Amino acid sequence: MCGIWALFGSDESMSVQCTCAMKIAHRGPDAFRFENVNGFTNCWFGFHRLAIVDQLYGMQPLRIKKFPYMWLCYNGEIYNHQTLRKQFEFDCQTKMDGEILLHLYDRFGIKKMASLLDGVFAFILLDTANRKVHVGRDTYGVRPLFKLLTDDGFLALCSEAKGLIDITHGMGTPASIVPFPPGHFEVFDLKPSGKVQSIQMEQFHCCRQQPSHAIYDTVEKLPIKFVSLGLDEELVKSNIRNLFENAVRKRLMAHRRIGCLLSGGLDSSLVAATLVKLAKEEKLPYPIQTFAIGSDDSPDIVAARKVATHIGSEHHEVTFTVEEGIEVVKDVIFHLESYDITTIRASVGMYLISKYIRQKTDSVVIFSGEGSDELTQGYIYFHKAPTPKAAAEDSIRLMEELYMFDVLRADRTTAAHGYLELRVPFLDHRFTAYYLSLPEEMRVPRDGVEKHLLRESFKGLDLIPDEILWRRKEAFSDGLTSVKKSWYTYLQEHLESMVNDDDMEEAYKRFPHNPPRTKEAYYYRQEFEKHYPDRAQWLSHYWMPRWIDAIDPSARTLSIYKPEKDQ
């Protein structure tokens, strides 16, 4: 987890502009560098570092003797960097995983470079010899990146939008600030003035494609066996297990202590259990810490405790009061840069537990279960999908929108406190591509249970308790409190008095894009606009269940929701 920032072609005072880079200082508390590009007085890089790999030589912008004309700023982890070094016999000067980008770019160009990266990343690569600026972001947008570009060619880039909103420029009209699209790279011509012109924007990978780096992976090509009625389901389950374990294993790459968020749901439990298993195999010199959060009567707390006992992790439970949760809502909205209802609700718990991890433990690399619900059709509204084809299409839509919702939440809430770096094995390129390649009928809920195929794949292994393996979907923001009274209900009751009826009547006029329909939504939008006025387009739509009459994103409000008996 780092913070990257760059300007190309600024006409304004750099002493003023550079203060904007400090607005993302929380992303990298270990070190900071602000550097001018040689020969380009109005081109600058800013970097906030959280040291995870190669603590000695890891400062950026990265420059090496072999390529003195290249400047690289990136935020991310490249899990196959050692494999690629050996495969192409690169002579690397540091142990930094990001150095591999320079060698790949030099040999293959920007498109193949990006497609060969197995990891999560946002990068800015400047090639002064060819006067090109290259920008790219990983497939699911796990690592954030925003772009500001004016009509006259001034380009600014930053990990979070808050580092761009006060950037000054000479244009009379406001500059657009947009999220850089996941799975894409963009190439700019760099003019002598330092300003740029976009010449290429292209997608290098999408969730349905087998990644180009798969041929160099440690897991060989997966066997496919057909029986009379289609694919051999037992072989499919074996492939799912192998790919998932491989996804967790490759993410053990770190020089800092590893921990795991554990809600007691299926996804985080599979991640935690596999992580503990592999940590023992790799002989890590410490026990894996797991972390759960909720109120005193939270079903998540109870379920996570059962899992932690089963897998033998060093478990931490964080309890919070409703008042403590409500108190941080404003801070959460500031860090999220979003006003989406369910994202904010779920972010409160993740924000508070990240704060605890930062202050009370020495775990820095944090595993989590994001991406599974989107990939494996885990939301309970999938029970109402009209056809397997419709369910499959919506799964892909959710995967493509992760950067606006769940991975945005996961990134911002952990980065807010510094010293934490998130890893999400369910979004491994090979794992997602394989799962999405399976027949549509195989991936839908079955026997009244969502994520049936995933659950069946780990059945009978005693990896996690059976009651957890078959525990029904409970949204993270819902499981924080008991079924008797949900977290969202507490929020709505508190915010009812914060917004009056007259405000609601004018909501469609004041906020024509995504107008709020409830007082809770109005309050979130109002707080968002205080920090990011006129930037509502960053969110194209609210997250909401499909194929069912829903006016609230919480699963507990849906007619098909059935709580566990012990909740």
Return the active site residues: 2
Structure tokens at 129: 């010899």
Confirm or deny that 369 is annotated as ligand binding.
Answer: yes
Query: DSSP class of residue 288?
Result: P
Report the alpha-carbon distance of residue 512 to residue 284 in Å, rounded: 53
Reduce the DSSP state of residue 203 to 3 states and report it: strand
416: buried, middle or exposed (CB in 10 Å: 19+, 13-18, 0-12)? buried
Two structure tokens written together for 444: 């839908």
Q: How far apart are CA 251 and CA 275, in angstroms?
A: 9
Q: What are phi and psi of 261, to 5 degrees?
A: -75, 135
- Give the integer Cα–Cα distance in Å for 106 and 70: 10
C-alpha span between 494 and 484 (Å, rounded): 17
Q: Which amino acid is at 242?
A: N
Question: Is 261 annotated as a binding-site member?
Answer: yes
Q: Is 368 within any annotated ligand binding site?
A: yes
Token pair for residue 378?
A: 């885990």
Residue type, 58: G
The amino acid at residue 336 is L
User: Is residue 554 marked as binding?
Assistant: no
In the chain, the largest separation of any two C-alpha atoms, in whole Å, equals 71
Please answer whether residues 352 and 329 qualify as being in contact, where contact means their C-beta atoms are separated by less than 8 angstroms: no
The CA distance from 402 to 383, in Å, is 21
For 226-262, b/e burial (b = at least 16 CB within 10 A) is eeeeeeebeebbebbbbbbbbbbbbbbbeebbbbbbb
Alpha helices in 259-400 (DSSP H): 266-281, 299-311, 322-327, 329-336, 341-360, 372-375, 388-400
d(CA 444, CA 176): 40
Angle between helices 266-281 and 233-250 (to 10 degrees): 70
Token readout for 519 is 């007082």
Rounded Cα distance between 230 and 224, Å, is 11
Instruction: Flag whether 76 is marked binding.
Output: no
**Binding site: what residues are annotated?**
97, 261, 293, 368-369
**Binding site for ATP: what residues are annotated?**
261, 293, 368-369
**Binding site for L-glutamine: what residues are annotated?**
97
